[in-house]
Amino acid sequence: MHDDTDRTIRLPTQTPTPSDALTEVLREGAHRLLTQAIEAEVDQHISDHAHQRDPATGHRLVVRNGHMPPRSIQTPLGDLQVRQPRVDDRALAAVSDQTNGKPVRFSSSILPKYLRRTKAIDRLIPWLYLKGISSSDFGEALAALLGEEPKNLSPNVIIRLKEVWRQEWEKWSQRSLEGKRYVYLWADGVYFNVRLEDHENNRQCILVIIGATDTGKKELLAVADGYRESEQSWLEVLRELKERGLGHSPRLSVGDGALGFWKALRQVFPGSEEQRCWVHKTSNVLAKLPLGQHPPAKRKLQAIWMAATREQAEEAFARFVSDYDVKYPKAAACLEKDREQLLAFYSFPARHWKHLRTSNPIESAFATVRLRTDKTKGCGTRQACLTMVFKLVQAAERHWRPLDGREHLEEVIEGIRFIDGLRQAAA
């Protein structure tokens, strides 16, 4: 009897130690990857013998047959409750034994029959993330679990596993957005130093958009392969969002000064106000100053975006331009050209300011992703890198904190006016 309703390796309900967010993200990701790898191995075995049929009935000789009883594997992170798929290939084994004396029975190279305790399991989680996408390195990753590299791990199993991830990304990228409303957007182009087949461009740019819903929940909205954050690349991403049902313009969009995104935004969602990221702007301004000027300049820039009112921010803004315009005109001009967009957040609820002044939701989400992709040398293709980034951020998304001051989101949607972060009474 076939049973495809439960294909999971169950984790213990007790939170492991250490229980920090990064450990949880890695643990969940490794759990998912190990489950998919075992499923792919079983699917490959069944596919390889799909042509083997009973001469009398025409039925397949190799089929799924539910799952084996759960068993516990001891690891430094706690016990893993493993439930492996059962393969019924006894009929094929009997036929092969009669013909050539070599019985054919499925035996998992990933999860051996008598495995009860993992070896070097503390290396499994980072290896699965750092090496899991590369076919050439996948055996090395699993060796951390088994103590030796699996000998029967077919490249087709790895290809099948990577294809599963690619299909997940494609399905996610085509999901309907009908009825969704995002009050705020954060956008950025994130670069990764990975080895690519395209030697002309070794720094792949992933275009990322995160949205805040009308309930304050942060959601990963778009992950796409871009070309140097060009206007055309951003246009394609934003138009796809609109075509899939995102009918309302965000009230405010946050990002750095890359012109490609803003030009595209004005064409697709012209009703959105624009907020330049203060982290990016600070970095851009400091880059035009001598190193010795960085500490005082940074304090003066912080005085602008930390001001309690827009009037005070304007005064601090004017002081900075006055102080640096004579000796360092490029730094002053860099700040001055985005004055309105840098101070746009003052027209929104004060409790939202810390979320709106920077594109930190993206920066923080990609901190651990960069850590892993900076070390791996096995991505190989643009699609593989994009897929890995998607899977990593999708896992991290579960731990994103919602917006503070969620009670003000409906007011923002209704267009209620805020001055210096405070709601204005109706005239």
Residue type for position 149: E
In terms of Cβ atoms closer than 10 Å to its own Cβ (0-12, 13-18, 19+), residue 365 is: buried
Nearest to 179 by CA among 216, 213, 223: 213
Cα maximum dimension of the chain: 94
Whether the full predicted model's pTM is greater than 0.75, yes or no, is: no
Q: Do 11 and 23 contact (CB within 8 A), yes or no? A: no
Expressed in angstroms, the distance from the first to the final Cα of the chain is 71
Q: What is the pLDDT along the chain (427 residues), one digit of tens a residue?
A: 444 444 433 433 444 444 455 555 555 655 666 677 778 888 888 888 888 887 777 778 888 877 777 766 554 444 556 677 778 777 676 655 444 545 567 777 666 665 554 443 333 433 344 333 444 555 555 554 444 555 444 556 556 656 777 888 999 999 999 999 999 999 998 887 655 555 445 567 889 999 999 999 999 999 998 877 789 999 999 999 999 999 999 999 999 988 899 999 999 999 999 999 999 999 999 999 999 999 999 999 999 999 999 999 999 999 999 999 999 999 999 999 999 999 999 999 999 999 999 988 887 777 656 655 555 554 457 777 787 778 778 777 878 899 999 999 999 999 999 999 999 876 5
Q: With H, G, I as helix, E, B as strand and everything else as coil, classify residue 420.
A: coil
Query: Domain extents for the chain?
Result: 21-170, 179-413
- Residue whose tokens read 């880059």: 287
Question: Is residue 44 left, alpha or beta, with left meaning phi > 0 and alpha meaning psi from -120 to 50?
Answer: alpha
